[in-house]
Chains A and B, each alone.
Chain A
Amino acid sequence: MAYFWEELDFLVGGRFTSLSYMSLRQWPPDVDGEIVLLGQFVWLPPGQHVDVEEDFLVSHLPYHRAIFGGLDSVDDPWLFAIQAVPTPAVRDTWGRDANPYDVMRDGMENALIYNVGAHIASEAQWTRGDLVDIYAERGVDPNHLSAWTTFELLRGMLAEICNVDLQDVVAGYPNCAFPDWAHACQHDVFGDVFSAWAAQQLT
């Protein structure tokens, strides 16, 4: 089972319906190892439309990186939002004692002002080392990840929730996820997975 589905065990009987990833904001390579990530699970009020709420929420999250969502077993909508920022960038902005996780929590709290019924049910936080450990637990040799950026590690984990094994993602890195399939290759292992998932070819 994919790492995120293990963490979010509520999803038994539910549906995963949307996924988006912010690729425009890049951080300098020298701070890549200092990027920290915060994932927060948000229950939406019953009936809210996941697709529009997902886009609305992340538009108000300054450190947004990825989000996915769906409906639980009784059709209640949920989102899992992932923010990421290098610790030095937070401390340059907010002061040397600033906690990057608290800064990202504050960002979520501010964004949820515009959706009174939504609430955070749980959260998880990771460093780059934590992400590498998750790959290792799934049988990936960490030596194969030395060229991966932290955001590529995250994208691989998002690819995993689209029903592709992490080992296959790593084997296909960087250019192709499906060397044995005839597919419209994106020449990007993650892009291949997300395109196939969006086309409902990975169910």
Chain B
Amino acid sequence: MNYEMRLPGYGGAGVFLRRTAAREPACRKAIDIWLLAPDFCKAVLGRATESALLPDLARYLFTVASSATPERDLPSFADTTAGLSIDVGTSDEVRVGLRVRVADDPDADVVDYLDIDFETSRAALVVAAEGIAAVAGGMDLADFGGLD
């Protein structure tokens, strides 16, 4: 499985993102998203998105990792075009609890979600952010003091 972002968690949970091309509208950038646990793998494939999603996500993950209390101090990450959102529920010195949701159909009147709650580590968040930065180009995570 190739991916631009791999965020593993405790208990076998994880989130993976891969760049791809959308089928509709043609030629638009898109991502594949996997929400993984030992007993399921939920996937959304070819979800059209804006090109800033991956850099924005890298910045968010890095900021979460470096915040003492991200569950209190940071807003959710949300990309409405892709229907992807991330909330921080808990944290301590080592671990961060995340809820990742992907809208089944972002344009629907009533939106259903694929979601996963899991704990990961601050170190794993940094590795995931660095992984995105390595492929997204032109990013310097050292410049990310906080969210815009």
Please determine whether A52 and B38 come into contact, CB atoms closer than 8 angstroms: no
Interface bin, chain B: 20 to 34
Please determine whether B120 and A114 come into contact, CB atoms closer than 8 angstroms: no
Q: A residues 91-118 with Cβ under 8 Å of B?
A: 113-116
B10: chain A residues within 8 A (beta carbon): 52, 55-56
A51: chain B residues within 8 A (beta carbon): 94, 121, 123
Task: Bits for A138-178, please: 1 = Cβ < 8 Å to B, else 0.
Answer: 00000000000000000000000000000000000000000
**Nearest-CB distance from A195 to chain B (Å)?**
19
Assess whether B11 is interfacial by the CB under 8 Å rule: yes
Please determine whether B6 and A115 come into contact, CB atoms closer than 8 angstroms: yes
Please determine whether B1 and A56 come into contact, CB atoms closer than 8 angstroms: no
A52→B123 CA distance, assembly (Å): 9
B130: chain A residues within 8 A (beta carbon): 47
Assess whether B21 is interfacial by the CB under 8 Å rule: no
**Nearest-CB distance from B98 to chain A (Å)?**
12
A73: chain B residues within 8 A (beta carbon): none
Task: List residues of chain A with CB under 8 Å of any chain B CB.
Answer: 47-49, 51-53, 55-56, 58-60, 113-116
Task: List residues of chain B with CB under 8 Å of any chain A CB.
Answer: 1-3, 6, 8-14, 16, 36, 38, 94, 120-121, 123-124, 127, 130
